[in-house]
Amino acid sequence: MSSAKNININLKIWRQKNAKAKGSMETYKLDNVSTASSFLEMLDQLNEQLINDKKEPVAFDHDCREGICGMCSLYINGRAHGPDTGTTTCQLHMRKFNDGDTIFIEPWRSKAFPVVKDLVVDRSAFDRIQQAGGFVSVNTSGRTMDANAIPIPKEDADKSFMAAACIGCGACVATCKNGSAMLFVGAKVSQYALLPQGKVEATQRVLNMVRQMDEEGFGNCTNTGACEVECPKGISLENIARMNREYLKASLK
Amino acid sequence: MAKSALLKSSIAKKYWMAFTGLFLCLFLAGHLAGNLQLLVPNNALNFNKYALFMTTNPAVKILSYVTYLSILFHAVDGFLLTYQNIKARPVGYAKSNPSANSSFSSRNMAVLGTLILVFIVTHMVNFWAKMHFDQNIPLQTITVEVMGQKQELYLMTNDGYMATSQVAKTKEEAAKSGAQVYIKNRTEFYNTQADVKVGEGYKDLYKITVAFFKDPKYGLIATILYVVAMGVLAFHLLHGFQSAFQSIGLNSSTWIPKIKLFGKLFAIIVPILFAIIPVYIHFILK
Ligand code: HEM
Ligand code: SF4
Ligand code: FES
């Protein structure tokens, strides 16, 4: 590992007081950022500087800071979760940047993800899509069948697991030129469609989730594939195709 | 509920895009096969016979209506999708880097499609409308030598001939000049005295086409625009062909690589073959 050094950077950050306010890009200078720090630590450092200067700190979302909760977001230098692929913003490090760099930081942009404040957006549209069908009914009468008692082909189980890796971060929507949520919904539909437990509600699930997705104002997929490239969890386009297939099956029923 | 969803949901729109798009790819292949006959030397008669078949055969007629509808539906649906997609992001990014994650074609399908639509409209005005409506459409003739004298003859669909010197353009003209035959309904030869049909000529689409691309004033620009339009089509198909299969839900690891390869070849070869024809007519054909 190369040893850490300190760099001076310029930041251009979207500032917006609240959901109704008109926002704008503001410029900040931040000196002595360790390349060993994470991107979010760099923002913490900026916020300390702002607080010391008696200014309002930048609001941004984060929670686990280890790439599993899906809470962090940020459109960094024109890319969702920054320049790396397969990582969330909390896993991005300042060693990816150079002294003197100007870094653009913007919130997810989507009609369905309204800005709450600065870089924080409201992603409850995803929750409502989940509520519309992202579940299976399980008999809890006391005679619940052990899930492992149902044989599942290894390949299906693997694919279902891979789909279930989606952390609901919304990078797919943010990066899609159409603001489409189909990678997210595709993953959520696939994770159940591939398992016997998911078959019972399969028809209603895909119809309801897609209807909710449309109602939330997400755009239409045109298969550009940008979501697959930027998804931190490597969710594959195959899941969108599977959703399209499930939807066709369900609509013809 | 399920039925109405098949018309208005986001995914249903994608199915329609995909089915109409793939049907139009089939149409392109058929259209190309017809056009390629223009490259065969001394083939005017066969080309015109083919054009006659394509405008009169009932099965082809049905296919052509499906094609018109497909173009219309594909374009309207495409505009609708694009409109909704623009609305889905009311505030754009100050900085974005789309080439990092997607191809040029995939991001510009609507622009490419609109250019294709403009091309289709002008193309139909230039050729399709002449074939269907032009009252003075030329009929195919051949020149033969009869006793050392050049003579021009109309070719008839019953394999007969009719000297052009005997044929007047209209009944009135025939009355004036005393011609034995006049032309009615654009293609039918009528005996002037008996007023009965004696045969029918071939609409000379070959001549129209060659004249169009050899026109001293506009031939070069028409050729260039045609080639550019085929370039646009190539980019549209480069993304579109494989995209259609994803839209209808086909994404198996065995088939997708094959579909992608075939789609690339189709997207490159078909427009090139189309484009060769006007280039040949303008620069090479004597
Ligand atoms: C011969 C002409 C054409 C052919 C063969 C063709 C073919 C295709 C194909 C195969 C697709 C992919 C469908 C999918 O992804 O599901 C497509 C997409 C598209 N086409 Fe066309 N097209 C033609 C003309 C047009 C025209 C005239 C327009 C518009 C005015 C247009 C606009 C679009 C748009 C906007 C898309 C992207 C929509 C999407 O991916 O969801 N196309 N086309
Ligand atoms: S599909 Fe990927 S990018 Fe989209 S929400 Fe899930 S994890 Fe995030
Ligand atoms: S903060 Fe949890 S994934 Fe980034």
* Ligand 3 centroid to residue A210 C-alpha, Å: 26
What's the one-letter identity of residue B148?
G
Residues A69 and A152 in one domain: no
Q: Is residue A237 less than 8 Å (CB to CB) from chain B?
A: yes
Identify the residue whose tokens are 């990582």.
Answer: A87
Closest CA to B20 of B240, B264, B268, B267: B240
Q: How far apart are CA B114 and CA B108, in angstroms?
A: 10
Residues A130 and A240 in one domain: yes
Residues A198 and A239 in one domain: yes
Mutate to test the pocket of ligand 1, among B27, B111, B233, B236 (most ligand atoms within 8 A of CB): B236
Task: Kindly provide the b/e burial profile for residues B239-276, where b requires at least 16 CB atoms within 10 angstroms of the residue's own CB.
Answer: bbbbbbbbbbbbbeeeebeebeeebeebbeebbeebbb
What's the one-letter identity of residue B197?
K
Query: Last residue of some domain: A52, A83, A116?
Result: A116
pLDDT score recorded for residue B2: 43
Examine the pLDDT at A37 and tell me if it is beyond 50: yes
Count of helices and strands (H, E) across chain B: 11, 7
B126: left (phi over 0), alpha (psi -120 to 50) or beta: alpha
What's the one-letter identity of residue A81?
H
Mutate to test the pocket of ligand 2, among A90, A126, A161, A235 (most ligand atoms within 8 A of CB): A235
**What are the φ/ψ torsions at residue A83 (nearest 5 degrees)?**
-70, -25
Residues A132 and A228 in one domain: yes
How many Cα atoms occupy the beta-carbon half-sphere of A142 within 13 Å? 0
| Length of chain B measured in residues | 286
Residues of A (143-172) whose Cβ lies below 8 Å from B: none
pLDDT score recorded for residue B162: 87
B178: left (phi over 0), alpha (psi -120 to 50) or beta: left
pLDDT score recorded for residue A209: 98
Q: Which of B98, B106, B248 is facing A222, going by the closest CB pair? A: B106
A246/B249 CB distance under 8 A: yes
Domain that holds residue A199: 124-252
Strand partners, A105: A13, A76
Answer whether A185's CB lies under 8 Å from A210's CB. yes
Query: Measured between alpha carbons, how far apart are the two ends of chain B, in Å?
Result: 62
**Residue ranges of the alpha helices (H) in A53-149?**
124-133
Q: Is B96 helix (H, G, I), strand (E, B) or coil?
A: coil
Q: Is residue B98 less than 8 Å (CB to CB) from chain A?
A: yes
pLDDT score recorded for residue A253: 82
- The token duo for A184 is 């997210």
pLDDT score recorded for residue A116: 98
Q: Is the CB of A31 under 6 A from ligand 3?
A: no
Residues A111 and A133 in one domain: no
Q: How far apart are CA B136 and CA B125, in angstroms?
A: 15
Closest CA in chain B for residue A204: B2
At A121-141, the pLDDT tens digits run 999 999 999 999 999 988 788
Q: Could you list the pLDDT tens digit for every one of the 286 residues in chain B?
A: 444 555 679 999 999 999 999 999 999 999 999 999 999 998 999 999 999 999 899 999 999 999 999 999 999 999 999 999 999 999 999 999 999 999 999 999 999 999 999 999 999 999 999 888 988 899 999 888 888 889 999 998 988 888 898 899 888 888 898 889 999 889 999 998 888 998 999 999 999 999 999 999 999 999 999 999 999 999 999 999 999 999 999 988 889 999 999 999 999 999 999 999 999 999 999 8
- The token duo for A105 is 């930081």
Examine the pLDDT at A102 and tell me if it is beyond 90: yes
Strand partners, A29: A10
Number of residue pairs across A and B with CB atoms under 8 Å? 148
pLDDT score recorded for residue B1: 40
Which of A74-78, A163-167, B177-181, B243-247 is the least confident region? B177-181
Can you give the CATH number for the domain in which A26 is found?
A: 3.10.20.30
Closest CA in chain B for residue A251: B2
Residues A71 and A141 in one domain: no
pLDDT score recorded for residue A2: 61
pLDDT score recorded for residue A91: 97
Q: CA B60, B183, B127, B152: dihedral to nearest 10 degrees?
A: 110
Residues A131 and A243 in one domain: yes
Task: Kindly provide the b/e burial profile for residues B8-43, where b requires at least 16 CB atoms within 10 angstroms of the residue's own CB.
Answer: ebbbbbbbbbbbbbbbbbebbeeeeeebebbeeeee
Residues A183 and A82 in one domain: no
- The token duo for B266 is 């189709």
Residues of chain B with C-beta less than 8 angstroms from the C-beta of A109: 89, 91-93
Q: How far apart are CA B46 and CA B52, in angstroms?
A: 10
Cβ-based burial of A54 (10 A; exposed 0-12, middle 13-18, buried ≥19): exposed
Examine the pLDDT at A184 and tell me if it is beyond 70: yes
Q: What share of chain A is helix, strand, coil (3-state, %, to 5)?
A: 40, 15, 45
Residue A129, in any domain of the structure: yes
Residues of chain A with C-beta less than 8 angstroms from the C-beta of B92: 109
Q: Which of A224, A245, A252 is facing B102, going by the closest CB pair? A: A224
**What number does the ligand 2 atom closest to the CA of A239 have?**
1
Q: Which residues line ligand 1 (CB under 6 A)?
A: A 222-223; B 14, 17-18, 21-22, 24-25, 28, 71, 74-75, 78, 81-82, 109-110, 113-114, 116-117, 120, 236, 240-241, 243-244, 247
- The token duo for B46 is 């066969």
- Number of domains, chain A: 2
Residues A128 and A68 in one domain: no
Residues of chain B with C-beta less than 8 angstroms from the C-beta of A180: 10, 85, 88
Query: Last residue of some domain: A76, A97, A116?
Result: A116
Q: How far apart are CA B71 and CA B233, in angstroms?
A: 14
Which of A104-108, A142-146, B22-26 is the least confident region? A142-146
Answer whether A15's CB lies under 8 Å from A24's CB. yes
Residues of chain B with C-beta less than 8 angstroms from the C-beta of A244: 11, 14-15, 246-249
Examine the pLDDT at A44 and tell me if it is beyond 80: yes
Residue A197, in any domain of the structure: yes
Identify the residue whose tokens are 């623009």.
Answer: B86
Task: Kindly provide the b/e burial profile for residues B189-226, where b requires at least 16 CB atoms within 10 angstroms of the residue's own CB.
Answer: bbebeeeeeebbbbbbbbbbbbebbbeeeebeebbeeb
Average pLDDT over residues A191-199: 94
- Ligand 2 atom 1 nearest Cα: A184
Examine the pLDDT at A5 and tell me if it is beyond 70: yes
Residues A177 and A137 in one domain: yes
Can you give the CATH number for the domain in which A221 is found?
A: 1.10.1060.10
Q: How far apart are CA B141 and CA B106, in angstroms?
A: 48
pLDDT score recorded for residue B160: 86
CB atoms within 10 A of CB B158: 8
Residue A1, in any domain of the structure: no
pLDDT score recorded for residue B3: 46
Query: Last residue of some domain: A96, A116, A136?
Result: A116
Closest CA to A126 of A218, A49, A46, A200: A218
Residues A109 and A142 in one domain: no
Residues A74 and A148 in one domain: no
